[in-house]
Structure 1
Amino acid sequence: MNIQMRQGTIDDLPAVKEIIRSAQLKLAASGSPQWSGEDAPSEARLRTDMEDGNHYVFLINQQIIGTAALTKGQETAYETIVYGQWEKNDADYAVIHRFAILPERNGRGYAALFFKLLLAAARESGMSEVRIDTHPLNRAMQKVITNHAFQFKGIIHLPIPHGERYAYQVFL
Structure 2
Amino acid sequence: MELRLMQLSETDIAMNIINGAKKHLKEQGIDQWQKGYPDYDCIKNDAINNKGFFAVDNDKIVGYLCIDFDGEPAYDNLQGSWSSDNSYVVVHRMAISEATRGQNLSSQIFKLVEKMSAEKGINNFRVDTDAANVKMQHILKKNGFIYRGTIWFDNSEKIAFDKQF
TM-score by length of 2: 0.92
Question: Aligned AA for 1:5?
Answer: L
3-state SS of the aligned residue for 1:44?
helix
Q: Please give the residue correspondences for 1:12-161 in structure 2 after superposition, counting only pairs within 5 Å.
A: 12-38=10-36, 40-82=37-79, 84-89=80-85, 91-158=86-153, 160=155
RMSD over aligned CA atoms reads 1.5
- Distance (Å, rounded) in 2 between the aligned partners of 1:93 and 1:118: 11
Change in CA separation of 1:4 and 1:72 when aligned onto 2, cut-off 3 Å: closer
Q: 2:146, 2:162 within 8 Å by CA — same for their partners in 1?
A: yes
Residue by residue over 1:63-115, the C-alpha shift from the partner in whole angstroms, topping out at 9 and shown as x without a partner, is: 21100011113321011222x311233x3211110001013312212221112
Unpaired runs of at least 5, structure 2: none
Among the aligned pairs, what percent are the same residue?
25
The one-letter amino acid of 1:167's match is A
* Secondary structure of the corresponding residue to residue 16 of structure 2: helix
User: How far apart in 1 are the matches of 2:66 and 2:151?
Assistant: 19
Normalization by structure 1: what TM-score? 0.89
